[in-house]
Amino acid sequence: MNWTYQRLAILGFAITIVMGLVPNVNAQKLPNQQIESVQLAQNQMSAVELYNRGVDKIEAGDFQGALADFKQALRIDPNDADTYYNLGYVHHTLGNYDQAIERYSEAIRLNPNFDQAYSNRGYAYFVLKNYKEAIADASKAISLNSKNDTAYISRGNAHDELGEHQAALADYEKALSINPNNARAYYNRGLTYNRIKQHQRARADYNEAIRLKPAFAEAFYNRGLTKFYLNNTVEAIQDLQKAAELFQKQGRKDNYQSAIDAVSAIGE
């Protein structure tokens, strides 16, 4: 089947799942309160040490090791919301979205004001195409922390997938009012502008995303397609070639091939 104008689809969110997450909780400090039972104190210290080692493993990219440490910490202290949250974060990073939702839900049960857990659970719902649940969780996160720009972006993404493009644009605007340097907000607003055929505005948003994050491969890819829609074939190919280069450096073979295929299609 030949590539056509319509076949050059704008990249969506599937290849950048993890980038929508709120960062993992920082390593805990050792507890300061006195504990009467010596054995209990030893267990709590051990749980904290396991937790901290798990966080270190997340930062080192050892997600399986982090899973093991967080699970062991929860066997010692099953009432720690941060541990459940980080366990959810690791499952999410590994693509285990149902398990991530379960762990975020436990974190919320233990800490009903845990806005980051609501935000990330909402993003997991988004990935699973449960857009109404994603909106509900993002809205709860925002009600708990009105400065949570990530939650506004997540809610905007869900609105956009439901065809509620104006609501999506309003959420991206709010995210940018909170954090004007959020490249993801510019990128996702660009996607929405593409969907409503406002390609000039989309290109401007991809420009900002790339200015803020020069190695943002998806932004180069989508800016290239947008320039193609605007009949600027030469610059479109340049952007797509840059996207291919970045995808290749990042070890993202499927995305690299998509960019190469787009260059070939435009050049025909």
Asked if the structure places residue 174 within a domain, the reply is no
Name the CA radius of gyration of the chain, rounded: 21
Type of residue found at 119: S
pLDDT of residue 199: 97
Asked if the structure places residue 56 within a domain, the reply is yes
117, 111 contact by CB (below 8 A): yes
Asked if the structure places residue 99 within a domain, the reply is yes
Asked if the structure places residue 28 within a domain, the reply is yes
**Look-up of token digits 């975020």:** 104
Asked if the structure places residue 32 within a domain, the reply is yes
pLDDT of residue 1: 28
Number of neighbours of residue 36 by Cβ within 10 angstroms: 6
DSSP state of 213: -
Could you tell me the mean pLDDT of each successive run of 10 residues in the chain, 268 residues long? 35 40 53 41 68 90 93 94 95 95 97 95 96 98 96 96 98 98 97 96 98 97 96 95 96 93 87
- Can you tell me the distance from the alpha carbon of 197 to that of 87, in angstroms, rounded to the nearest whole number? 40
Asked if the structure places residue 139 within a domain, the reply is no
Asked if the structure places residue 142 within a domain, the reply is no
pLDDT of residue 11: 55
User: Domain range spanning residue 34?
Assistant: 23-112
Q: How far is CA 251 from CA 15, 26, 222, 238, in A?
A: 12, 28, 19, 20
- Can you tell me the distance from the alpha carbon of 154 to that of 130, in angstroms, rounded to the nearest whole number? 12
pLDDT of residue 46: 82
pLDDT of residue 23: 59
Asked if the structure places residue 195 within a domain, the reply is no
- Can you tell me the distance from the alpha carbon of 129 to that of 123, in angstroms, rounded to the nearest whole number? 10
Q: What is the CATH number of the domain that holds 108?
A: 1.25.40.10
pLDDT of residue 12: 45
Number of neighbours of residue 124 by Cβ within 10 angstroms: 28
For 53-84, give the DSSP string: HHHHHHHHT-HHHHHHHHHHHHHH-TT-HHHH
